[in-house]
Amino acid sequence: MEKRIFYRTALVIGIALFINGCKPECDNCSVDATTTLNIVPEIDGKAIEKGKFIYQNAAGNTFSILNVEFYLSDVYALPNLQLSTYQYMSSTNPATLQIKRDAVRFSASSIMVDTIAFVFGIAANMNTHNGLDATVVNQNMEWHDGTQDGGYHFLRFEGLYKVIDSTDKAYAIHFGRTPNQVLIKLPLDKRYELTNNQSLTVDIAFNLAQLLREPVTIDFSKLPISIMSNDSIQQIISKNAADAFSIQHVMLQ
């Protein structure tokens, strides 16, 4: 009899402990904090200025930039804050270069952030025909190579480069196609804790020059005109992009 009472008591205490242990630190807490990522496209520290021949790549091409458009997707402030499912970005439209997440409801009284992580391009599960919202911009970024199911351009990077004794020639780095997406993980200098009314701003440089060097140098004059259907070039850009993003500045206020 005593044994029975003992076991029953132990069971009740065990269940109580289990329930209490699983209980969140804070039920339905609302952390009124803002997290902002500013993506800054650049060429080795130089800002993007449309149409100016002020850039040089590793292959020695002097070039201008007419257009830089790209997507980031599955954007997270790790360990557990999702900032965006996907975002279209354009160098000519500064508003698109910012990802902002306002107040969030969390089972905690603060938000911890130690790493920024995202996919450069559109994550594979969305990178299908009509996989993104039907907007003019998204449809303009659709990727086709004779089929309907190419998904979206991850990057369009276009401009002109100088050629001796000739008129300026064009380059058009169009990058896309699953599985060429690049997972970028950028650890912050420390773990940041956001509490109510605080904001965390992270500036991230996107160095396009890096796409044109390391491990493989890209010379505009040697690029195939049909770049989209060229798998080896697509893979080179994917590999080169691995270290194209870097944390520039972090500010907690």
Partner 1 sequence: MKRLVIAVLVVVMWLSFFIGCKKTTDTPLADTPYELQYPDYLPRIVIPADNPLTVNGVALGRRLFYDPIFSQNNTISCASCHKIANGFADNVQFSKGVDVAVGITNASSLVNIAWYNRFFWDGRVTSLEEQVEEPIQNPIEMHETLTNTVQKVQNHPDYPRLFKAAFGSDGVTIERLTKAIAQFERTIISAGNSTFDKFEQTNNPGVFTKDEFEGYKIFFSETGDCFHCHGGALSTTTGFENNGLNENITGTGYGKTVSKSDSDGMFRVPSLRNAVFSAPYMHDGRFNTLEEVIEHYNSGLKDSPTLHPKLKLKVEEGGLNLSESQKNQLLAFLKTYTDTAFINRTDLKKPF
- List residues binding partner 1 (CB under 8 A): 50-51, 66-67, 129-130, 134-136, 138-140, 142, 144-149, 158-160, 167-172, 225-229
In the complex with partner 1, the residue whose CB is nearer, 148 or 253, is 148
In the complex with partner 1, the residue whose CB is nearer, 129 or 239, is 129
Q: What's the gap between Cα 224 and its chain centre?
A: 27
Q: Are 59 and 218 in contact (CB under 8 A)?
A: yes
Q: Which residues contact 102 (CB under 8 A, 6 or more apart)?
A: 34
Report, in Å, the least distance between residue 224 CB and partner 1: 9
Report, in Å, the least distance between residue 149 CB and partner 1: 8
Report, in Å, the least distance between residue 42 CB and partner 1: 20
Beta partners for residue 250, in sequence order: 202
Q: Are 136 and 126 in contact (CB under 8 A)?
A: no
Report, in Å, the least distance between residue 172 CB and partner 1: 5
Quote the Cα angle for 189-101-68, to 5°: 80
How many beta carbons lie within 10 A of that of residue 62, not counting itself? Answer: 15
In the complex with partner 1, the residue whose CB is nearer, 101 or 174, is 174
In the complex with partner 1, the residue whose CB is nearer, 145 or 243, is 145
